[in-house]
Structure 1
Amino acid sequence: MATPGSEATWLWVGFIGMLLGTVYFAVQGRGSTDPEQQTYYIITTIIPAIAAAAYLAMATGLGVISMPIRGAAGVDIYWARYADWLLTTPLLIIDLALVAGVRKRMIYKLLVIDVIMILGGLAGSMMQQGAVIRIAWWAVSTAAFIILLYYLLGEFSRRARNRSTATGVVFRRLRNITLGLWALYPLVWILGTGGGFGMITITTEIMLYVVLDIGTKVGFGAVLLNSQDILQTADHPTSKGDIKSQ
């Protein structure tokens, strides 16, 4: 356990942002009676709730440990961040899979790849042998992300377009938010304390993670839940005219 320094302010910002997102999604979901919509609301509400708990742990020092790293003094490792990602990124993928209508076998495959991506980053952060080993694990994590990118741009996108034009548009928007923001995480990691280079300060690193986390969880969720009427109409057309209009 370690005590956060100046970066604590941003950790509290992350906690408040995730808490507000959780409350907002929970309130929005109260009026939903459609089972499929309720699934979206439940998953999307759980995501920032988990993140809020992780940020609370990090802000209070419970989610961070100090470790000696070769060539550097003790480095604070925010392990709760990886616990958050290990739980929330699979849920984000499930949300995308539900929109696209992909098969369960494909979902399971991507979840395994996602876990490898997160654990690779965690392993890199925890390695004490020096920069080379840490970067090697970063490369493993980044390679897993590229594989995810391949499937989300390929199979997932094709299936979403096949469901309906409207579904394809919504999926593309959600996919671009996810991939665009996820692509920035490895850059923050390699420039910050994770890669051992320390080219940006820990406060800047935490600030960037907070902004990315809020975008990928609360921003993603807001777009998804505000698109429920479009998805429901597209997947359950009420007339031949609706089918033709798609």
Structure 2
Amino acid sequence: MIIDQAIDILKTTKGPLPLPTATHTASPTALPTVVPDRPELQFVGDEGKKTLWVVFVLMVIASAAFAALSWRVPVNRRLYHVITTLITIIAALSYFAMATGHGVSVHTITIRHQHDHAPDTFTTIKRQVFWARYVDWTLTTPLLLLDLSLLAGLNGAHILMAVVADVIMILTGLFAAFGTENTPQKWGWYTIACIAYLVVIWHLAVNGRAQARAKSQKVASFFGSIAGFTLVIWTAYPIIWGIADGSRHLSVDGEIIAYAVLDVLAKPVFGTWLLLTHANLPETNIDLGGFWAYGLGGEGSVRLVDDDGA
């Protein structure tokens, strides 16, 4: 029936049929596609990995060389040799750990960008922190201080204070490396580390120099040179930290290379200079004797007797 009505309308319509006209209908607006920002990855590259392996080999060679030098002197005069060899052995273990991908964590940093007329934006950075390096420094820098303290002739109280300040310096540097961004936490730890370093400098530059001068002019001259060399190198460490882990203006590869140069200077080069000069400077000898050279012997044995005194 509906079809019949439609036919009747067509018969009565004169002229062309009306064409359909476009009508304005509401359509959904196109929304911008929201793509989450990918975090910026600051990881070690090929240059950094190669550097870690090279320094590992150098530390092993230095350890073998220092051990060979120790065989040329009596056991009771090997204290410097033992300490210096332990320094490079620990460093070799640390660099092996870092080169094989151990002793490293990823620290996530979120940076907030404030805008006046728009919502705040955030940038996420993931940076590798080689905490094995801090373990190395916590063990080796006190040994380096012990070498210098014994060379100068510092007393036990000054040695203890210098070593404790040194350990505080390293640990607070580690806390700062994992600190939260845009808070006083990170740079607060860094400030504490710098203050602790000033305590170390005080004991070496002031007390150590005075004690070395009391030994002889040759010892004072040598101590002044090697201690000054060490302090200059150690001062470069917090500067590198501020550029690398602190502000992240230095890549992870650049950080590894910078620390590698400093570690080689502060350990193998320092050790070679110390042991060779010590061999030609009798005033620096420390004759330990006793237990260090000969053990307990018969003095440490326990004598068992019967109840009747036999």
Give the TM-score normalised by structure 2.
0.71
When residues 225 and 235 of structure 1 are mapped into structure 2, their CA distance, relative to the original with a 3 A threshold, is: closer
Query: What residue number does 1:45 align with?
Result: 85
Inter-partner Cα distance in structure 2 for 1:211 and 1:161: 31
Q: Does 1:232 align with 2:273?
A: no
| Larger CA deviation: 131-140 vs 23-32 | 131-140
Q: Which residue does 1:243 correspond to in 2?
A: none
Q: Aligned residue pairs: how many?
A: 232
Deviation at 1:3, TM superposition (A): 7.7
Q: CA deviation at 1:231?
A: 2.9
5 Å-filtered alignment, 1:78-157, equals 78-130=130-182, 132-157=184-209
1:166–1:234: 8 Å Cα contact kept in structure 2? Answer: no
Q: 1:203 aligns with which of 253, 266, 272?
A: 253
Shift of 1:103: 0.7
- Residue from 197, 217, 233 that aligns with 2:267: 217
Is contact 1:3–1:61 with CA below 8 Å preserved after alignment? no
User: Separation in 1 of the partners of 2:182 and 2:166?
Assistant: 25
Greater shift in the superposed pair: 207-216 or 3-12: 3-12
Question: Which one of the candidate residues 14, 23, 29 is aligned to 2:55?
Answer: 14
Higher helix share: 1
Structure 1 gap segments, 5+ residues each? 237-246
- Bigger Rg, which one: 2
Q: Secondary structure at the match of 1:10?
A: helix
Q: CA RMSD in A?
A: 1.8
Aligned-partner Cα distance in 1 for 2:60–2:99? 14
Match of 1:169 in 2: 221
Q: Does 1:30 align with 2:71?
A: yes
Letter of the 1:17 counterpart: L
Q: Deviations over 1:18-44 (max 9, x none)?
A: 1111111111111111523x0000000
Identity over aligned pairs, percent: 34
After TM superposition, which residue ranges in structure 1, 4 or more long, deviate above 6 angstroms?
A: none
Deviates more, 1:97-106 or 1:84-93: 97-106
Assess if the C-alpha contact under 8 Å between 2:138 and 2:167 holds in 1: yes
SS in 2 for 1:96: helix
What runs of 5+ residues in structure 2 fail to find an aligned partner? Answer: 1-41, 112-123, 287-310
Return the alpha-carbon distance in structure 1 between the equivalents of residues 285 and 58 of structure 2.
32
